[in-house]
Amino acid sequence: MDSDLMSAMRTLKSSIRVVFSIFILSILFISCEQSNFCLEPQTLSLKGGFYTKDTANKNVDTSVSNANLRFGSNSTFFTNYKNGSKFSFPLSQTQDTIPIIFESDSTSSSENLKDTFQLIYSRELHFISVACGYQTFYTLKNTITTNHVIDSVLIAVPSVTNETNKEHIKIVLKK
Amino acid sequence: MIAKQVSLILILGFVLLSNKLKSQTLNSNPQLESDTSEQIDSVKSKEKVPTFTYYRIGIDLTKIAASFLQNNYNVFEAQADVYYKKDLYFAAEFGYGNSKVSNQYLNYKSNNTFIRLGLDKTFFGRDFKGDFDNAFVGLRYGLAFINRGESTYAIEDIIWGNTNGIIPSESFLAHWLELTGGFRMEIVKNIFVGWNARVKTFINPKKFELLPPSYVAGYGRGDKNTAFSYNLYLLYGFGKR
C-alpha cells in the first residue's frame, strides 16, 4: 500500500481514538438519568349528565339551577352545580357499592327535594407506571335510587377507565 | 438528555463513517494503485480470510458506570462475536441485572438473566489484511428470565379513603426482537472499542400488564413495549486473522 495512505490511516485512527475517549467521558456524565415523578392521578372520575324526559319519552339534556351532589366517606364532599348539565365525581377504591346524595336545591333542607342513589360496580386494579403505581378501573353493574326528584339513574357506558369524554351515567330528573 | 445522547452517537457515527469512506475512496484512486497486480493480491487476501477463526469477547462499560451511578438498578452485560465469512459475524450478548422500586406508591424488587443472539452485517471491506475495524447493522433475538418479587402498593384517595395491597411475586419469560447498529475499532492490537445503538420491542408485552419489572437487564425499562439503548463495549480479540 502507498505510504501516504498508510500515514493517512494512522492519523485517521488516532483521531478516532480521541473521539472515543471523549465519548467514554461523556457517557459517565449523561448516565445520570432523572428519576421518575408521578404526574398522573391515581383516582378516576365517573362522568354523567342530567336529563329530563320530553313528550316523546326521550331523554333530553337539562341543566340544574342550584344542585349538590354529595359523595365520599360519610358524604362529606360535595360539588355544587349552578346551571350545569354535566357532573363528575370519583368512585370508591375500597367498596363495591357507594351512596351518592342528590340535592336538587342546595338552599333547602327538605327531604322531598333530595334523593340518594346507590352505584353498584366491580373494581379492577390497573397499573399506571412505576412512578405512580396503581389506579382502579370500574365496571358499573347496577343503580338503585329513591324517587323524590330523580326519575331514574341509567348506565350509559359501564366501564369507567382512564378514557376521557365518556358519559357513564344519566340522571333522569322528574319534571 | 436522550437527545444529547442520540446526537452524540450520531456525530460519532458520521465521523467514523466519513473517515472510513474517505479511506476507501483513497484506496480506489487509480493514481495510488497504478500497480494492478498488487490490487488483485489485496482483493484475493480479502476472500481468503478463513471462517470462525477470529473471536472477540468484551464487556459493556456504560452498564458498569450506570450500576455505580444509579441507585435503582445494577446490570452487567457482556458480548462475544465471531467472524463468519464475507461481511457476517455471529454475535451473542448475555448478562445479569437487578432493580428495585421504592416510592410512596410501589415497593418491589426484580432480577433477571438474559441472552441475545443474532447476526451482524458489516458495511466496509478490509483496508488491509486482518482489518476488523468496521461499521455494522444487526438483528437480535433476546430472551430474559425474570423474577419479580412480592410488591406492596398504595393508592392515595382523600375522598373515599386510601387503599393498599400486595401483588404476589411472579416469574416470567420475556422475549423481544431488536435492530442494532454500531462500530468496532481496534485501538491497540487485539483490543477493540465500539458501540451499539439498539431499538427493541417485546414479542409478548401482555405478560407485564399487572406489574412490569422496572428494569430488565438486556432490554431496558420493563414498562415500555419499545425501548432504545446503547452500549459501549471494550473487547479483546483472539484467534487467527
Cα separations (Å) of B138 from B92, B95, B119, B180, B221?
A: 11, 19, 5, 5, 21
N- to C-terminal Cα distance for chain B? 40
Cell of B73: 438498578
Collect all residues with Cβ–Cβ distance below 8 Å to A58 and sequence separation of at least 6. none
A133 and B153 within 8 Å at the Cβ level: the answer is yes
Interface contacts (A, B; CB < 8 Å): 125
Complete DSSP assignment for B189-205: TTEEEEEEEEEEEES-G
- What is the average pLDDT across A106-132? 92
Per-residue model confidence (pLDDT) at position B203: 93
Whether A19 sits inside 8 A of B187 (CB atoms) is no
By the 8 A CB rule, do A106 and A142 touch? Answer: no
The DSSP bridge partners found for residue A80 are A68
Helix (H, G, I), strand (E, B) or coil at A67: strand
Would an 8 Å CB–CB cutoff place B3 in contact with chain A?
no
Alpha carbon distances (Å) from A56 to A136, A150, B82:
38, 18, 80
pLDDT of residue A10: 63
Q: Nearest 5°: phi and psi at A12?
A: -60, -45
pLDDT at A103: 94
Enumerate residue ranges in chain B where pLDDT < 50: 1-4, 6, 8-10, 12, 14, 17, 22, 24-46
CB contact under 8 A, B106 and A42: no
Phi, psi angles (nearest 5°) of residue A35 = -75, 160
| Weakest-pLDDT range from A6-20, A131-145, B59-73, B155-169 | A6-20
Higher-pLDDT residue of A173 and B21 is A173
pLDDT at B241: 79
DSSP secondary-structure letter at B32?
A: T
Contact at CB, A20 and B187, closer than 8 angstroms: yes
Q: Which residue has the higher pLDDT, A16 or A52?
A: A52
DSSP A74-128: GG-EEEEESSB-EEEEEPPSS-SEEEEEEESBTT---GGGEEEEEEEEEEEEEEE
pLDDT, position B128:
78
Instruction: Check if the interface score ipTM surpasses 0.85.
Output: no
Q: What is the C-alpha to C-alpha distance for residues A97 and A113, in angstroms, rounded to an integer?
A: 23
Name the burial class of residue A83, with classes exposed (0-12), middle (13-18) and buried (19+) by CB atoms within 10 angstroms of its CB.
Answer: exposed
For residue B103, list chain A residues with Cβ-Cβ distance below 8 A: 38, 130-131, 133
Separation between Cα atoms, residue B105 and residue A36, nearest integer Å = 12
pLDDT at A38: 85
Chain A neighbors of B128, CB-CB under 8 A: 1
Q: Which of A12-16, A158-162, B38-42, B121-125 has the highest mean pLDDT?
A: A158-162
Instruction: Out of A47-56, A147-156, B37-46, B139-148, pick the least confident.
Output: B37-46
Q: What is the pTM of this model?
A: 0.73
Q: Which three cell numbers stand for residue B214?
A: 422496572
| Residue of B235, B236, B222, B237 whose CA lies nearest to B101 | B222
Q: Which three cell numbers stand for residue A62?
A: 337539562
Looking at residue B224, what is its pLDDT?
A: 86
Give me the pLDDT at residue A18, please.
63
Identify the bridge partners of residue A111 per DSSP, sorted by sequence position.
none
* pLDDT value of position A108: 87
Q: What does the alpha-carbon distance between residue B127 and residue B116 come to, in Å, rounded to a whole number?
A: 30
Nearest to B19 among A16, A28, A92 (CB): A16
**Per this entry, what is the length of chain A?**
175
Going across the sheet that includes A97-103, the strands are: A77-81, A67-71, A97-103, A114-129, A133-145, A159-160
Which one of B156, B161, B209 has the shortest CB-CB distance to A73? B161
